[in-house]
């Protein structure tokens, strides 16, 4: 009997993959645990001789084995969701066993590291610059330029840090990569270490990803001789969203509160333990082995549009019928992503809004779905690509409540170092509440105290509250130390602009 | 708190770079909290003030100063799960939890295309409806 392949990804497990594996084994099958194809609405997805069945439940096993299952989707590689993609970073997704060195090597693993180590470090950096790769964590800073800064920095001790603190709601590409192809990330980090002259690396993973942590630790132990003398260690975060910001991540790694540091100095010059440090996102580092393969940087630079080069693993999430991982060259628009590829909403109701780029990203209305997926085009439209998460909301969404949540989330996760973020977020929640109920009728107890000479003694109209909110957001956007406070106005402003009816009156 | 186990954890991490974070994780895992006694011992071992250690405990959501013996159900309440209707399930889940279960909100378990999702005793659940969630809370 042929081998049954089922993903061991955390999402597949959450949808019952373990029970399904047990059922197949009970039926006498050999089950091979592979990475996920990323067609998440079909998880747990069963693959037998290239043919797919999903979402499969233990009671479907008999029908799948005798060929009568109604859950057959045909050849997986021919499925439109897979066929339309251009997978580079996720080239192995669904195809290899995550912790098999044999599979990794057979699919081109370690060739880029071998090639890079035979090259002069400046030439490696030059190729990364030439590829046009930009940081996939959100800021979109050219990766090669960052590497060059660290390479040229003085000092015998340098570090490579992988930011795997993927806290944005609507994103899961880092998780899938770490769980599905951990060796690729390790190889990317080893190449970065060679290029900048670092001997030690850390992967900072959020504690909400125990599957990824276990996979990475096992993979590092297995890959030890391939990456030596480079030393690599996993460090686990402790539930603070703000530690996805690179300087607070470095503080956390050092054993301090995850408070943001003022820049300059740049982490590239004074980073971890005060030493020159490369901090890159999982997807940035995982793209490196492809780029550093023979001719890879040129191929990468040909993909995409304008200054957004290569491919982006886009994550289709929220209320979407066909959610999952869709890696494609930059330039694709939301209409195709959501209505064609994603099949519209899961609820079947019309799409109301889409949040691109996680909790700090703008809400985009269907009238702007023509925007090409491109860093500059999004910036020009007061939106951001961030980490490539696309969260879909149907018409039942209350955008006033979502705007309020943006402030509430910022208040819960603020590190507290800068005032606009720490206090502005709480004042923002109060303001939205008041705007939604028509404004502030009376001055409050503090405002009426005799010593509050400058406070106004009358209430405020809704229009005056809106002006105050605008003022507050300007202070947060331009006065915050990092993107948490600085970008929280994006979801709020976009919600106010496109759905004013959700804010009362 | 068992002093020998605490000492063993401290000894295991003491000489690592950035030892405090992994040390606190192990203490939290072993004892279910990081109390004043543990803070003092850790501060002493790492040549820090107790305030510096306490600052870590109070900053990170994963660390707690006192042990809570109740079972924990972590329910994702972030945007993607909200888009899939998690808020409508909350009242029923809260009623089922009562005082017996610690129903905690988390911001994102990374299962964003198939929410609402939850984590209970390390096991993940996705695509929950009200009946399934209530059942999970009751049996937690």
Q: Indicate whether A369 and A348 sit together in one domain.
A: yes
Q: Is residue A93 part of a domain?
A: no
Q: Indicate whether A338 and A326 sit together in one domain.
A: yes
Residues ≥6 apart with Cβ < 8 Å to A502: A398, A399, A400, A401, A495
Q: Indicate whether A311 and A297 sit together in one domain.
A: no
Strand A389-394 and strand A311-318: the pairing is parallel
pLDDT at B50 over 90: yes
Q: Are A83 and A77 in contact (CB under 8 A)?
A: yes
Q: Are A268 and A153 in contact (CB under 8 A)?
A: yes
Instruction: Look at residue A439 in the predicted model and tell me its pLDDT.
Output: 82
* CA–CA distance, B60 with B53 (Å, rounded to integer): 11
Say whether A389 and B112 touch across the interface (CB within 8 A). Answer: yes
Look at residues A281, A389, A322, A330 and name the one whose alpha carbon lies nearest to residue A88.
Answer: A330
* Domain termination site, one of A353, A371, A394: A394
Q: Indicate whether A147 and A294 sit together in one domain.
A: yes
pLDDT in tens, A63-74: 999 999 999 999
- Put simply, whether B126 touches A (Cβ < 8 Å) is yes
pLDDT at B23 over 80: yes
The position carrying tokens 């009376």 is A442
Give the count of domains, chain A.
4
Which residue in A170, A240, A324 is closest to B79 by CB distance?
A170
- Put simply, whether B1 touches A (Cβ < 8 Å) is no
* Domain termination site, one of A394, A420, A444: A394
The domain segmentation of chain B, as residue ranges, is: 3-59, 72-139
Q: Which domain holds residue A17?
A: 4-83
**CATH number of the domain within which A60 lies:** 3.40.30.10
Say whether B18 and A235 touch across the interface (CB within 8 A). Answer: yes
Q: Indicate whether A29 and A54 sit together in one domain.
A: yes
pLDDT in tens, A97-134: 999 999 999 999 999 999 999 999 999 999 999 999 99
Q: Indicate whether A117 and A218 sit together in one domain.
A: yes
Q: Indicate whether A356 and A236 sit together in one domain.
A: no
**CATH number of the domain within which A486 lies:** 1.20.1440.230
Q: Indicate whether A314 and A253 sit together in one domain.
A: no
Instruction: Look at residue A459 in the predicted model and tell me its pLDDT.
Output: 87
Instruction: Look at residue A1 in the predicted model and tell me its pLDDT.
Output: 65
* Residues of chain A under the 50 pLDDT cut: none
**CATH number of the domain within which A343 lies:** 3.10.20.600
- Put simply, whether B114 touches A (Cβ < 8 Å) is yes
CA distances from A405 to A119, A295, A400, B15 (A): 50, 46, 9, 42
Contact list, B59 vs chain A (CB under 8 Å) = 240, 257-259, 415
DSSP secondary-structure letter at A140?
A: -
Q: Indicate whether A379 and A415 sit together in one domain.
A: no
Q: Indicate whether A145 and A266 sit together in one domain.
A: yes
Q: Is residue A322 part of a domain?
A: yes
**CATH number of the domain within which A267 lies:** 3.40.50.11540
Q: Indicate whether A335 and A223 sit together in one domain.
A: no
CA distances from A491 to A169, A306, A323 (A): 13, 26, 22
Look at domain B72-139 and name its CATH class: alpha beta
Q: Is residue A95 part of a domain?
A: no
In angstroms, the separation between the Cα of residue B98 and the nearest Cα of chain A is 24
- Put simply, whether B122 touches A (Cβ < 8 Å) is yes
Per-residue burial over A465-502, b = 16 or more CB atoms within 10 Å of its CB, e = otherwise: bbebbeebbebbbeebbbbbbbbbbbbbbbbbebbeeb
pLDDT in tens, A269-305: 999 999 999 999 999 999 999 999 999 999 999 999 9
Q: Indicate whether A373 and A252 sit together in one domain.
A: no
Q: Is residue A56 part of a domain?
A: yes
Q: Is residue A427 part of a domain?
A: yes
Say whether A323 and B114 touch across the interface (CB within 8 A). Answer: yes
């Amino acid at each position: 009997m042929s081998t049954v392949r089922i993903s061991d990804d955390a999402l597949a497990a959450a949808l019952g993959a373990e029970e399904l594996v047990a059922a197949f084994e009970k039926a006498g099958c050999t089950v091979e645990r592979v990475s996920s194809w990323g067609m998440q609405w079909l998880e747990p997805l069963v693959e037998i001789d290239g043919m797919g069945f999903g979402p499969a439940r233990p009671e479907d096993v008999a029908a799948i084995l005798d060929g009568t299952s109604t859950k057959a989707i045909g050849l997986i590689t021919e499925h439109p969701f897979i066929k339309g993609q251009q997978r580079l970073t996720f080239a192995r997704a669904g195809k290899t066993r995550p912790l098999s060195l044999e599979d990794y090597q057979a699919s081109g693993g370690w060739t880029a590291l071998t090639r890079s180590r035979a090259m002069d470090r400046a030439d490696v950096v030059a190729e990364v610059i030439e590829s046009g790769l930009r940081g996939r964590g959100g800021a979109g800073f050219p990766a090669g330029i960052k590497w060059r800064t660290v390479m040229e920095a003085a000092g015998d001790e340098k570090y490579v840090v992988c930011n795997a603190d993927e806290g944005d709601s609507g994103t899961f590409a880092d998780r899938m990569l770490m769980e599905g192809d951990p060796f690729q990330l390790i190889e990317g980090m080893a190449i970065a270490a060679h290029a900048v002259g670092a001997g030690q690396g850390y992967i900072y993973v959020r504690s909400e990803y125990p599957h990824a942590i276990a996979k990475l630790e096992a993979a590092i132990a297995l890959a030890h001789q391939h990456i030596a003398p480079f030393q690599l260690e996993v460090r686990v975060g402790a539930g603070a969203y703000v530690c996805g910001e690179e300087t607070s991540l470095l503080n956390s790694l050092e054993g301090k509160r995850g408070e943001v540091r003022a820049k300059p100095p740049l982490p590239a010059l004074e980073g971890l333990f005060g030493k020159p440090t490369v901090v890159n996102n999982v997807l940035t580092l995982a793209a490196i082995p492809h780029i550093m393969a023979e001719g890879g940087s040129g191929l990468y630079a040909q993909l995409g549009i304008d200054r957004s080069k290569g491919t982006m693993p886009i994550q289709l999430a929220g209320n979407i019928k066909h959610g999952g991982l869709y890696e494609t060259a930059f330039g694709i628009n939301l209409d195709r992503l959501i209505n064609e590829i994603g099949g519209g909403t899961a609820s079947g109701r019309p799409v109301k809004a889409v949040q691109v780029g996680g909790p700090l990203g703008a809400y985009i209305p269907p009238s702007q779905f023509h925007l090409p997926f491109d860093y500059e085009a999004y910036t020009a439209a007061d939106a951001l690509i961030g980490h490539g998460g696309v969260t879909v909301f149907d018409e039942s969404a209350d955008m006033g409540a979502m705007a309020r949540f943006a402030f509430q989330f910022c208040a819960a996760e603020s590190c507290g170092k800068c005032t606009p973020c720490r206090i502005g977020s709480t004042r923002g929640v109060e303001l939205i509440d008041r705007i939604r109920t028509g404004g502030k009728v009376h001055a409050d107890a503090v405002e009426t105290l005799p010593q509050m000479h400058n406070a106004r003694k009358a209430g405020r109209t809704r229009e005056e509250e809106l002006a105050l909110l605008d003022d507050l957001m300007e202070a947060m956007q331009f006065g915050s130390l990092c993107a948490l406070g600085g970008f929280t106005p994006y979801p709020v402003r976009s919600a106010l602009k496109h759905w004013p009816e959700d804010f009362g009156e | 708190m068992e002093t020998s186990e605490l000492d063993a954890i401290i000894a295991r991490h003491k000489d690592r770079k950035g030892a405090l974070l992994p040390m606190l994780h192990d203490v939290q895992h072993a004892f279910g909290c990081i109390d004043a006694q543990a803070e003092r011992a850790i501060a002493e071992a790492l040549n820090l003030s107790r305030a510096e250690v306490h600052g870590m405990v109070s900053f990170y959501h994963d660390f707690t100063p006192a042990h809570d013996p109740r079972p924990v159900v972590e329910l994702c309440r972030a945007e993607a799960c909200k888009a899939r209707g998690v808020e409508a399930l909350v009242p029923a889940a809260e009623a089922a939890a009562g005082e017996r279960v610690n129903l905690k909100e988390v911001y994102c378990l990374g299962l964003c295309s198939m929410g609402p999702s939850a984590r209970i005793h390390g096991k993940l659940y996705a695509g929950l409806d009200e009946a399934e969630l209530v059942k999970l809370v009751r049996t937690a």
